[in-house]
Structure 1
Amino acid sequence: MWTAKIIFDGSRALIGSRTLKYKINLFGFPLSFYYEKKCVIVNLTGIILGEEKNKKAFLRDLRKARRLINIDLNGDFFIATIKEPPYAKKVYNKDVIHLSPALVDENAKVTINIGCFSRDNLVKAINALEKAFSSKIHFIKERKVRNISIIKENPELTEKQKQSMNLAIRNGYYDYPRKTSIEKLAELSGLSFSTFHAHLRKAEAKLLPFFFEK
C-alpha cells in the first residue's frame, strides 16, 4: 500500500483554529462520511487533551460553529459530526484509507497518516491538501501496513498520562525532526526519566500506537 504522513497548517480550519485559540491538543479519527451537495459530512471520534478550563472554552466555542452538526462527550472522549468543504472529497472517498487518528495540536498543526492502493489516488489527496493549506510531506512510501489505530471508546488515561502526552505534543516530541527528548520532558514534568517515560508510553499504547510509529 502507498502511505503518506502529511503535516499542514490548520489555523483556518474548523478545529485547528480553535486548538490554536484555546491551546489544547486533539486526536480525531473519521468513522464514516457521506456527500451532501458540495460538502462532506464526517462522523468522527477523538480525545481532547489540555487544561480543563481550556477544554471547556474550546468546546463552548466549537458548539457555536455552523459546521458542527452534533457532538457527544464522555469526559475527554467525543463523537461528533462535522461539515467539511468541497476540497475534502479528495481526502474522504472510497480510495483513501485513514491509517491513524489525525493530531491537531495547540499550534494548529495537523498531522495525518493516510494510505491508498494506488499512488495516483494518494497524490490526488495530497495535492488537495497542499492547495487548501500550507503543507509539508513527511513521507510518501510503499509499505506493508501492520495495523490501523482507532481510538478506543473513552480510553482511561490517568492524569499523569494525559499530562505527559500533552507535554510531549506541546514541546515537539512528535515533530519531525524531534524538537526535544524524553530526558528534557521528564525534567520539565518534575518526574524521573523512568516514571515520565512509563506514563508517556502507556498513554501512547492506550490512545493510538500506530500514530507514533516512525
Structure 2
Amino acid sequence: MWVAKLKLKHEDCVIGRRCKRYNVISIGIPFGSYQEGDKAYFSHFETLVGDNEKISRFIEDLKEDPSISNIEVQGNSIFFVNEMPAQQTIPNTHYNKKIFLIKPIMVDEKGYENWEIGSWNEQVLRDFIVNLQKEHFEVKLLKIENEKVNEIYFPQVMPFLTKGQKRALELATQRGYYDFPRKTELKDLAKEAGISLSTFREHLRRAEKRIMPDLIRNVRDE
C-alpha cells in the first residue's frame, strides 16, 4: 500500500487559525461533505488538547464564526458543520474516494495540519498532493512510500470521562506513569492535580475501567 505523510497550512482554516491563536492542538477527522445550491458543507469531529481555559475560548470563538452552521460540544470535543461558498477550495475539496486516512488529522499549535493518508494507487496520492500545491496552501511532502500498514485509525465513539477522570489520565500519561521504568508516582500526580492521593487514585481507576474494554477490543495480535 502507498502511504504519504504531509504537512499543510491554509489561512482560512477555521480550526488551524484558532489552534495558533489559542495555542491548542486539534485531533480530528472529516465526516464528509455535500452541496446545496451555491453553498458547500463540510462536517468535522475534533478533539481539542491543551489548557482548559484556552480550549473554552477556542470553542466560544468558533461558535461566533458565521461559517459554522451547526455545532455540538461535549467537553473538549466538537462536532460541527462548516459552510462556505461552493467555489471556495479547502484541502478536502480535492479528496479522492480512493484515498483514506490512516490516522486522524492533527493540527498543531502553529496551525499546521499533519496528514497521513493511504491508497492502493501511488498516482492517486501524487495527484492529490499536486492539486493541493496548485492552491493557495502551504504544502510540504514528508514522505511517500510503498509499505505495509501496521496501524490504521478506526473512528468510534469513546467512553465519556468526567473532568477529574480525564485530568488524572492525562497527567498519568504525560508524566510517564505508564512508562517502564515508571517516571512518576501517584502521590506526585495527586499533588500536581491539587487533590488527595485517594481521590486521584479513584479518578484514575475509574478512567482506566471506562476505556480499557474499548482498547482491548481493538488491540491486534502481533
Query: TM over 0.5: same fold?
Result: yes
Residues 101 and 150, structure 1, Cα contact 8 Å, conserved in 2 = no
What are the within-5 Å matches in structure 2 for residues 96-135 of structure 1?
A: 96-130=99-133, 131-135=135-139
Superposition deviation, residue 142 in structure 1: 1.6
Q: In structure 2, how many angstroms separate the alpha carbons of the residues matched to 1:164 and 1:137?
A: 34
- Opposite residue 106 of structure 2, the aligned amino acid is L
Kindly indicate whether residue 182 of structure 2 is the aligned counterpart of residue 194 of structure 1: yes
Q: Deviations over 1:131-185 (max 9, x none)?
A: 33222111111223344214532454731443577x7xxxxxxxxxxxxxxxxx8
Q: In structure 2, how many angstroms separate the alpha carbons of the residues matched to 1:17 and 1:82?
A: 14
Counterparts in 2 of 1:40 and 1:117: CA distance versus 1, 3 Å: farther
- Opposite residue 88 of structure 1, the aligned amino acid is P
2:71 match: secondary structure = strand
- Opposite residue 107 of structure 1, the aligned amino acid is K
Residues 75 and 154, structure 1, Cα contact 8 Å, conserved in 2 = no
Kindly indicate whether residue 28 of structure 2 is the aligned counterpart of residue 24 of structure 1: no
Counterparts in 2 of 1:71 and 1:141: CA distance versus 1, 3 Å: same
Q: Deviations over 1:22-61 (max 9, x none)?
A: 1111101122223445765222222111112111111111
Superposition deviation, residue 62 in structure 1: 0.8
Residues 70 and 81, structure 1, Cα contact 8 Å, conserved in 2 = yes
Structure 1: 5+ residue runs without aligned partners? 168-184, 187-191, 210-214
Counterparts in 2 of 1:83 and 1:119: CA distance versus 1, 3 Å: farther
Q: In structure 2, how many angstroms separate the alpha carbons of the residues matched to 1:160 and 1:58?
A: 23
Kindly indicate whether residue 140 of structure 2 is the aligned counterpart of residue 136 of structure 1: yes
Residues 7 and 112, structure 2, Cα contact 8 Å, conserved in 1 = yes
Q: In structure 2, how many angstroms separate the alpha carbons of the residues matched to 1:109 and 1:63?
A: 21
Residues 10 and 136, structure 2, Cα contact 8 Å, conserved in 1 = no
Structure 2: 5+ residue runs without aligned partners? 190-207
Aligned residue number for residue 47 of structure 2: 47
Query: Which deviates further from its counterpart, 19-28 or 138-147?
Result: 138-147
Scaled by the length of structure 2, the TM-score of the pair is 0.66
**Structure showing greater Rg:** 2
